[in-house]
Copies of this chain bind each other. A is one copy, B any other.
Amino acid sequence: MKIGILTSGGDAPGLNAVIRGIVYTGIATGKCEEFVGFRNGWKGVVDGDTVPLGRHEIKGIHKQGGTILGTSRTNPFDGIGGVDRINEVMREQGIDAIVAIGGEGTLAAAKRLTDAGINIVGVPKTVDNDLDATDYTFGFDTAVQIATDAMDRLRTTGDSHGRCMIAEVMGRHVGWIALHSGMAAGAHAILIPEQKTSVDQILEWVTSAHDRGRAPLVVVAEGFSLDTMDDAHSERGLDAFGRPRLGGIGELLAPIIEERTGIETRATTLGHIQRGGTPSAYDRVLATRLGMAALDAAIAGRWGHMVGLRGTDIITVPFADALGKLKTVPQERYDEARILFG
């Protein structure tokens, strides 16, 4: 069997460990000895742009962030893509099956292609940890660690100046990174997309911490909205008052908190540093195991399935069961974290 591997969508620490897990397992067990990588996600599939993947190419890559294959947001059904084109490329290059490593969009495309008869196994990738069919996704632990380290640093500045510090972290639709890093850093308020919150409530958390002699630390997911912001506002990039929004939600909140409480307030947007660089040991182990299981699934012909983590076990799940359900932060986890605000 000859297997093609692709990485698609935003990069995440651990992608290379998945690739290495797949290839190493195939070669070391003799189950599959021929691998290619598609360059830049689905773009490489529709373009037939491949690179060989052997022992040499995967040496030591599990320690590197990003993806050695490159990635893109190309949709295989846009333009010249589609089932026929992909079948053609696979036939031309003698590729029997694809392991697609990507997020919701990639896996949805993979499902459509599998339904049309193409042999695909999926590996879920989302730094935001918002996929329902797996307990955790690789990259999430690294992002939480980086955000926590950054907040540990921000905090000493807040303490020294008596300031409120705001850290804006990743999380467009879900608040997992904010929840975990906020709990790890000891934040006085955690603001997540799942919980629209009023300005007054935020001010209460901030002033309560300040009154106890603490420098308030607020972590906010990039997708958080104030309760006065309707979804249209958020989508159109408007702020809480319907004005065009510059910068992220953190920079929107800072002046509001400062004006209303009199506490000097500074926002920092962590941005891309959360998703690059060396993966944590946790993510390396998880990504390696997912890659190994994906190879096994391919050998077993479990097309249309993706691998995932359940407890300490690696499982496989049909795409149909895994897609379309955003894993949001449940109310009880938010309530649990909220106890620590004050």
User: What is A's interface to B at a CB cutoff of 8 Å?
Assistant: 7, 10-11, 13, 15, 21, 24-25, 28-29, 40, 55, 59-60, 62-67, 70-72, 135-136, 141, 144-150, 152-157, 159-162, 165, 180-181, 183-184, 186, 212, 214, 246-247, 266, 268-273, 275-278, 280-282, 284-285, 288-289, 292, 310-312, 336, 339-342
Kindly report which residue of chain B lies nearest to residue A186, judged by CB atoms.
B62
Q: Contact check: which of B55, B145, B153 meets A276 at CB < 8 Å? A: B153
Tell me if B64 and A273 are in contact (CB < 8 A): no
Q: How distant is the Cα of A312 from the Cα of B336 in the complex, in angstroms? A: 13
Q: How distant is the Cα of A224 from the Cα of B295 in the complex, in angstroms? A: 31
Q: A7-B160, A70-B161, A246-B246 are in contact. List 12 more A-B contacts (CB 8 A).
A: A11-B156, A11-B157, A11-B161, A24-B340, A65-B156, A146-B153, A148-B281, A150-B273, A152-B276, A184-B288, A282-B282, A310-B311
A83 to nearest B CB, angstroms? 27
Q: Contact check: which of B272, B292, B336, B339 meets A268 at CB < 8 Å? A: B272
Q: Contact check: which of B66, B270, B292 meets A156 at CB < 8 Å? A: B66
Tell me if A339 and B272 are in contact (CB < 8 A): no
**Top 10 A-B residue pairs of the complex, sorted by shortest distance between their CB atoms:** A153-B277, A65-B156, A66-B156, A66-B160, A153-B276, A148-B281, A11-B160, A184-B281, A184-B284, A157-B276
Tell me if A157 and B272 are in contact (CB < 8 A): yes
A47 to nearest B CB, angstroms? 14
Which residues from B are CB-within-8-Å of A181?
Answer: 281
Which residues from B are CB-within-8-Å of A289?
Answer: 183, 336
Work out how many copies of this chain go into the complex.
4
Asked if A152 meets B63 with Cβ closer than 8 Å, knowing A247-B247, A311-B311, the reply is: yes
5 contacts between A and B (CB under 8 A): A59-B214, A66-B156, A156-B276, A165-B272, A288-B340
Which residues from B are CB-within-8-Å of A214?
Answer: 59
Tell me if A272 and B266 are in contact (CB < 8 A): yes
Which residues from B are CB-within-8-Å of A277?
Answer: 149, 152-153, 156
Tell me if A25 and B339 are in contact (CB < 8 A): yes
Tell me if A269 and B272 are in contact (CB < 8 A): no
Q: How distant is the Cα of A159 from the Cα of B336 in the complex, in angstroms? A: 31
Q: How distant is the Cα of A183 from the Cα of B40 in the complex, in angstroms? A: 27
Tell me if A29 and B150 are in contact (CB < 8 A): no
Kindly report which residue of chain B lies nearest to residue A246, judged by CB atoms.
B246
Kindly report which residue of chain B lies nearest to residue A40, judged by CB atoms.
B162
Tell me if A272 and B154 are in contact (CB < 8 A): yes
Tell me if B268 and A268 are in contact (CB < 8 A): no
Tell me if A135 and B336 are in contact (CB < 8 A): no
Q: Contact check: which of B21, B212, B341 meets A55 at CB < 8 Å? A: B212
Which residues from B are CB-within-8-Å of A29?
Answer: 339
